[in-house]
Chain A
């Protein structure tokens, strides 16, 4: 049935609808890409473990899989990439430049894709970081909100720690604010190290560790 009317009355909303759809697809593509990429990267990680240090997730990728970050208590297993760029952050959490080879590692991720789970981390939670050469347990010690206008990250080779950084507040609709949420984890004492690891890399947190975070 042909609708009568001035052409503007049909053209403007149709164009608006078209752009809305475009925007919708573009927006929804972000989390989908985040998931898909992790899956592709998983394969290149296996190749990396197999001894190919330069294995790329896809041939034109400008990044490499460098470690596995897992938080058993939250059912999280993610592959950490090299190269702290916006492009790489879309695919997964990344090592802040200069940190993958030091003992003091800083990993940043998007608060609304991969690092959504940081919100639910509590002091005492266990984090496992597996690199090509080692696998180590860390325990969450500090949870803090910092203002990136006044602070910057210091990579201190004298420290053994893992810091996870994401944007804050978690539920803000607006991207690009100055606040960051920083979770700092220190190595777990050897006697508390979980002994066995299940094949999927997901573990139950061992008993002695209790959450010490108030108000949650």
Chain B
């Protein structure tokens, strides 16, 4: 203690020596008439020195505090509010009386059937209640984007719950009934669309829980390769390949989520994973690869069968399968079909020729960019980067133009110009000067782009960049349908909450494609993808002769681009004999016959057809079809094919009470109503400004700063008086 204080004394003395000159100068300036104050040596006036010391120290501390305060203030003024990171937990979460977390053995089996651009994924997971009491659990599974669970089977001990697609209203009534008859305590809550969640009740001690769910996932296609990602890790935000092992968690407190658990807490030896993929290839493949797992690949009747090599695989990382088609020098077309007894469901695949086999066509590219107020900040930065990248891709024979719009619209040139250096520089300057302000009046800008003077023999491609905050989608889509003529529309949506539906539809009607850029870092990747796509239109104006009355989707057949196969789904009254595809290849008419595949397709073909039909029906609502008629028709198909739509839900009701009456359980028998993932969903927005906190902070710092200013004048009076 004494040692410490002596050190402090020394430090103070040092500080005093250091500041002595400064203090003297201050004192001297203030009281030039009292030189004796400065003449006194510190040693001879210990009491005075102490006082001075403490005062100087106070002063320095205040200076430091205010400097820190200043830094904080500047940061505060500069920064906007940032949202906290989002976390979620996947697996089975027990909610019992005991508060401790318990781990159980877990087996996961995954069966995948890939048809066209869709995969039917079936996940079976086995858990066990290792606790000593009856429990309720929440089961969560991460879903790939856009997927929704439409089939389900839950086995708890010897009970079986099966999922059933029902009309939403009916499901709701049934749920209410079950509830009022005292069978349930569950809440119907909305859930995130990227996860499946269901509650399991009455899980006895030692019970085995077998959860089996099935969903349709879409296949990604980029840079000449298909890929399917199945999230497997039960960790918050499964990231590519690198994951902590957090297989399973039991939380004791009902309603508490507990995503942060250290991996070491669980025995992980028992977590086995098996994956079987049935890849129904309708064309030759050049490669099949699994990104993070070792796999066995066997040719089969349908195509390929892929399974995991290591029987000891754990569920600790994403399963990603990628395969690349092999394109020939000429377009190719295959046909597979499935007979359900009443109808034939057919899938027609069109494979374009190799990009090298097509002579490139020059184009006219019109860039349309949204500069409305909502684009302010990163959105506009992304859009600018995307446009500039687009300009770099133009070839010497291409022509181009630029249009920007907000409340008004402005075009750079009256008529599109060749992509010469001078023009490109001018365009870059134009892009640099764009600023976000005003409303979003899309129609006039699109009109301008679609009605530019025609360039002889050049295909016009409109690249439309916006954050998509529109209110009059219907009018815009109609306008595009009417005015686009031979042009093609490519939509690029920017930012976090674009109106994806509108952008996708606009591109569909415009026979182009939709690209979404979520972050600035994605611009390069996505725009390059878009460009390599639109540079090589292989076959335009496609048409198909099924040889009979066929109901096929999509109704508007897009162009066929190099490196990108195309699928059409049809329902036919009888087995197809001769299906002819026609179109325009390199400026002249082209025609070929489809080759039927020997192996018949699976019932997934029917599902895929039904899904495309429902989508077309839903779209027709935008173009004025009576909503009630649409609802009826969609409902019919959804119930027939067992599909989730906005009018149907998946329902599971547990019918067998299992709990012995003597044992107490906090939760009752729970039927769960599972909300459809196909409804329109939205995240929550940040709904607090924090202005009060900011106000308080400002007031506080103002107070301190004022105190400092006053203090700077005031501190000397005691010092000088003591000196005197």
Contact = CB atoms under 8 A, between A and B. Distances in A.
A45 B20 CA distance: 70
B682 interface: yes
Contact of A158 (B67, B168, B691): B168
B396 interface: no
B198 to A, nearest CB: 14
B685 A108 contact: yes
Given A9-B63, A112-B692, A19 B77 contact: yes
Nearest to B647: A158
A69 to B, nearest CB: 15
Interface in B367-405: 372-374, 376
A160 B76 CA distance: 43
Contact of A6 (B22, B439, B691): B22
A85 to B, nearest CB: 6
Contact of B73 (A19, A111, A177): A19
Interface string A150-182: 111111111000000111000011111110100
A121 interface: no
Contacts of B685: 84, 86, 89, 96, 108
Interface in A1-40: 3-6, 8-10, 12-17, 19-24, 26-28, 30-31
Interface in B298-322: none
B499 A12 contact: no
Nearest to B692: A112
A89 B688 CA distance: 9
Interface stretch (A56-64, A71-79, A132-140, A199-207): A56-64
Contacts of B30: 4
B26, B679, B704, B712, most chain A CB atoms within 10 A: B712
Interface stretch (B152-160, B414-422, B693-701): B693-701
Given A158-B647, A177-B84, A110 B689 contact: yes
Interface stretch (B187-195, B266-274, B446-454, B518-526): B187-195
A113 interface: yes
B702 interface: yes
B493 to A, nearest CB: 13
A115 to B, nearest CB: 7
Interface in B678-724: 679-699, 701-702, 704-706, 708-709, 712-713
B3 interface: no
A57 B439 CA distance: 11
A64 B193 CA distance: 29
Interface in B70-102: 70, 73-74, 76-77, 81-84, 86-88
B361 interface: no
A13 B713 contact: no
Nearest to A154: B190
B684 A148 contact: yes
Interface in B50-83: 59, 63, 66-67, 69-70, 73-74, 76-77, 81-83
A5 B26 contact: yes
Nearest to A169: B688
A90 interface: yes
A180 to B, nearest CB: 5
A87 B373 contact: yes
Contacts of B695: 24, 27-28
A8 B83 CA distance: 37
A129 interface: no
Interface string B340-375: 000000000000000000000000000000001110
A12 B87 CA distance: 41
A175 B688 contact: yes
A149 interface: yes
B314 to A, nearest CB: 25
Given A5-B26, A12-B66, A89-B685, A173 B692 contact: yes
A82, A146, A178, most chain B CB atoms within 10 A: A178
B239 interface: no
Contacts of B29: 4
A124 interface: no
Nearest to A61: B439
Give me the 9 closest cross-chain CB pairs, A-B, nearest first: A175-B690, A13-B708, A27-B694, A62-B373, A24-B698, A173-B693, A20-B702, A17-B705, A30-B691
9 contacts: A9-B708, A9-B712, A12-B70, A17-B709, A20-B699, A85-B469, A109-B687, A152-B191, A172-B688
